Amino acid sequence: MTPRSAGGGRWRDNAAGSALKPFLGLGLFFMICFALTNLKIIVLPMVLAFFIACLLNPLVTFFQRRRLPRALSVVLALAVGIMIIWLAVNFVIESLYSFQRGFPAYKDRLDALVADMVEFRNRRFEFVTLDMLKDQLQRLSLGSLLTGILNSFVSFAGYFSLTLLFTLYFLPALPALPGKLKKAFPGRKGLKLCGAVADISGKVQGYILVKSLVSLGLGAVFGTVCLLFRVDFAASWGIIAFLLNFIPTVGVIVSVVLPALLCAVQHGWTAALWLTLCLGAPAAVVLNYAEPLLLGRSVNLSPTSALMAILFWGVLWGGVGMIIAVPATAVIKLTCDSFKGLKPVGALMGN
């Protein structure tokens, strides 16, 4: 074989390899999605445990600075985290039961609203029949809605024990991880991996802190506005808005719609429209200005990447996936930024 023909063969091999790379990458992506979906019962608790460990690690360090043993500090930090989760879940469940108990009191007003809708239909939408309207209202069963929500909580609680087990492992191991990485990868590679792990942990902590503060402010505004409009369970709507804001975009919309529907039942459609405007204005400020500005600094994700992340993780892991979508995608972006071959992907995901 002549040198020219050998060179031509190598060029063809390189061209064929370059042409196959996109298909190999796409195949690897689908294989990862398949594994994440079918191994959800193991992978999801591990991911949750990692985020919880990153969040509780500063609390463990705080207890250690008070000269408490590491093991006792881990137990105390976990106890604080479990207490917060228990209080939040207990409050939401009690609020749902309160809504269910109070729903019969709104029956007369609900009948009047249905009559108004029928009258409006007769004037503007004659093609919408009364039977169709009744059928749609029957589908909006409060009992089925409560059952669905409670089933979601039960499903989430099913992962709790496994998540706790992984957290018990991750929390003591997190401070020792840099030393293990340096020992496993001596030289510059180990230092680079240690920096990436520290950066990921800091970004996760920063995201949760900023998100909590923004959600707390939004919840206080929602609770105050509902109180001014004399909507029942005003404090509950504020706390529910605080919790739902951890689901980006979708959670805020739901936290506006739910009290508006109750306001329509209590005070009519005009009051509900004004309440929607008064709740929608601060929600729009948070969605379009406050969170992109503050969270952009903490996780450096573009709004498009955040929205795609919500859809992607929501399809894979449901409601829990939507909650962890942004920090999980931020971890992926930081990982891409740490490796030369993946830096273009990280650049596309950033602001």
Q: What is the pLDDT of residue 246?
A: 80
Q: What is the pLDDT of residue 170?
A: 81
The pLDDT tens digits of the residues spanning 21-35 come to 666 767 777 888 888
Q: What is the pLDDT of residue 328?
A: 82
Lowest mean pLDDT among 166-170, 259-263, 264-268, 334-338: 334-338
Residue % of the chain over a pLDDT of 90: 5
Q: Check whether 284 has a pLDDT greater than 80.
A: yes
Segment 279-283 shows an average pLDDT of 89
Segment 44-71 shows an average pLDDT of 84
Q: Are 232 and 261 in contact (CB under 8 A)?
A: no
Whole-model pTM: value is 0.66
The pLDDT tens digits of the residues spanning 213-233 come to 888 889 999 999 999 999 888
Residue 156: pLDDT band (50, 70, 90) is low
The pLDDT tens digits of the residues spanning 290-324 come to 776 666 666 677 777 777 887 888 888 877 787 78
Q: What is the pLDDT of residue 115?
A: 65
Winning range, highest mean pLDDT, from 186-190, 259-263, 309-313, 328-332: 259-263
Domain boundaries, the chain: 189-351
Q: Check whether 84 has a pLDDT greater than 60.
A: yes
Segment 76-89 shows an average pLDDT of 83
Q: What is the pLDDT of residue 131?
A: 56
- Give the span between the Cα atoms of 48 and 158, in whole angstroms: 13
Q: Are 263 and 271 in contact (CB under 8 A)?
A: yes
Q: What is the 3-state secondary structure (H, E, C) of the chain?
A: CCHHHHHHHHHHHHHHHHHHHHHHHHHHHHHHHHHHHHCHHHHHHHHHHHHHHHHHHHHHHHHHHCCCCHHHHHHHHHHHHHHHHHHHHHHHHHHHHHHHHHHHHHHHHHHHHHHHHHHHHHHHCCCCCHHHHHHHHHHCCHHHHHHHHHHHHHHHHHCHHHHHHHHHHHHHHCCCHHHHHHHHCCCHHHHHHHHHHHHHHHHHHHHHHHHHHHHHHHHHHHHHHHHHCCCCCHHHHHHHHHHHCCCCCHHHHHHHHHHHHHHHHHHCHHHHHHHHHHHHHHHHHHHHHHHHHHHHHHHCCCHHHHHHHHHHHHHHHHHHHHHCHHHHHHHHHHHHHCCHHHHHHHHHHCC
Q: What is the pLDDT of residue 135?
A: 58
Q: What is the pLDDT of residue 224?
A: 93
Residue 209: pLDDT band (50, 70, 90) is confident
Q: What is the pLDDT of residue 69?
A: 86
169 or 106, higher pLDDT = 169
Angle among Cα 145, 252, 298 to the nearest 5 degrees reads 135
Lowest mean pLDDT among 4-18, 87-101, 107-121: 4-18
The HSE-up count of residue 220 (CA atoms within 13 Å, CB side) is 5
User: In angstroms, what CA-CA distances link 24 with 17, 38, 64, 78, 94?
Assistant: 10, 21, 48, 42, 50
- Give the span between the Cα atoms of 171 and 52, in whole angstroms: 9
The pLDDT tens digits of the residues spanning 98-152 come to 776 766 666 666 666 666 666 655 555 554 455 555 555 555 555 555 565 556 6
Q: How is residue 14 written in tokens?
A: 């390189």
Q: What is the pLDDT of residue 146?
A: 56
Q: What is the pLDDT of residue 58?
A: 82
Residue 155: pLDDT band (50, 70, 90) is low
Q: What is the pLDDT of residue 306?
A: 75
Mean pLDDT of the chain: 75
Q: What is the pLDDT of residue 275?
A: 92
- Give the span between the Cα atoms of 232 and 339, in whole angstroms: 53
Residue 276: pLDDT band (50, 70, 90) is very high
Q: What is the pLDDT of residue 277?
A: 93
For 105, left (φ over 0), alpha (ψ -120 to 50), or beta?
Answer: alpha
